[in-house]
Amino acid sequence: MEIYSILLLCSTLLLFFTAPIYAQTSSPPAPTPTPTSSPSPAPAPAPAYVNLTHLLSVAGPYTTFLSYLESTKVIDTFQNQANNTEEGITVFVPPNQAFDSLKRPSLAKLTQDQLKQLMLFHALPHYYSLSDFKNLSQVGPATTFAGAGQFALNFTDTSGTVHLDSGWTRTKITSSMDSTDPVAIYRVENVLLPEAIFGTNIPPVPAPASAPETSPAADSPAADASAKIHAPGTSPPSSSHRIINLGVWSQMVFAVSGVLVLLL
């Protein structure tokens, strides 16, 4: 009985000595990690009319694309489709930088008519939400505003990322600028070049040279995305750490109260 009391006393002392250590590790009142990482495509109440000119001029670095749309008057075709049809429209918008870096083939030699076709090639005469592309990729080449055949675009959906293939251009949707039926505007990283204008004699891309050249640019949004996924990932360990500490605390409270009951 005496040994038992000593054991109890020892364990009580041990608990009291170790308690400050746990108190220290758990003391920083870490703010509860609120999972705000979900990039919700806020389904705002549908505005009936989307002014494409306005959207493209304020949404970001898309002024080159917009100026081509305006100089070829394709903006009217697109706006009319957005305004007046049930089908709606899906537009793929490359940023200015995609036009700047386009050296081969160059757009400088195109006739006004070819430029118009090039612009029409950047849209589908139907509204597609991002989730619709999975289905679309199984249907086969999609007819663009410029037409079918060599003016069609191929889509593939690889685990949620929508890739576009025109033969000359392989790119992907990197963000949604607007997607409210009947108007979808998506950012793509490259100017879409149709075989109907540039021919089927596509220069083979030298694999070793192009891989490092294209992959960082092409993959950077993905890298950003994974970085974003990883960033909040640093908080779960601390929260589970707190949970462990809580467990230790409740055990200590249990033990101490048990000892007190025995001693009294």
Ligand X SMILES: *[C@@H]1O[C@H](CO)[C@@H](O)[C@H](O)[C@H]1NC(C)=O
Q: Which is nearer to ligand X, 76 or 213 (CB)?
A: 76
Contacts of 163 (CB under 8 A, 6+ apart): 155, 156, 157, 170, 171, 172
Alpha-carbon distance of 102 to 107, in angstroms, equals 8
Total number of residues that touch ligand X (CB under 6 A) = 19
Q: Tell me, what amino acid is at 26? A: S
**Interaction of residue 179 with ligand X, rule CB under 6 A:** no
Cis peptide upstream of residue 232 (ω within 30 degrees of 0): no
Q: Could you tell me which stretch among 38-46, 74-82, 94-102, 182-190 binds ligand X (CB under 6 A)?
A: 74-82
What SS3 class is residue 182? coil
227 phi/psi in degrees, rounded to 5: -65, -40
Among residues 97, 150, 151, 98, which one has the least CA distance to residue 124? 151
**Interaction of residue 57 with ligand X, rule CB under 6 A:** yes
Shortest CB 63 distance to ligand X, Å:
12
Taking a C-beta distance cutoff of 8 angstroms, is the pair 35, 232 a contact? yes
**With the C-alpha atoms ordered 198, 202, 206, 212, is the resulting torsion angle positive or negative?**
positive
**Interaction of residue 63 with ligand X, rule CB under 6 A:** no
Residues 79-118 that bind ligand X (CB under 6 A): 79-80, 83-84
**Interaction of residue 224 with ligand X, rule CB under 6 A:** no
**Interaction of residue 147 with ligand X, rule CB under 6 A:** no
Element holding 51 (H helix, E strand)? none
Q: Which is nearer to ligand X, 79 or 90 (CB)?
A: 79
**Interaction of residue 167 with ligand X, rule CB under 6 A:** yes
Given 139, 209, 243, 261, the residue binding ligand X (CB under 6 A): 139
Element holding 218 (H helix, E strand)? helix 207-230
Given 27, 37, 53, 240, the residue binding ligand X (CB under 6 A): 53
Q: Which is nearer to ligand X, 12 or 78 (CB)?
A: 78
**Interaction of residue 49 with ligand X, rule CB under 6 A:** yes
Q: Could you tell me which stretch among 50-58, 102-110, 224-232, 239-247 binds ligand X (CB under 6 A)?
A: 50-58
- Strand residue runs (E) in the chain: 89-93, 123-124, 142-144, 147-158, 161-165, 170-180, 183-188
**Interaction of residue 76 with ligand X, rule CB under 6 A:** yes
Q: Which is nearer to ligand X, 144 or 174 (CB)?
A: 144
Enumerate binding residues for ligand X (CB under 6 A). 49, 51, 53-54, 57, 76, 79-80, 83-84, 132, 135, 139-141, 154, 165-167
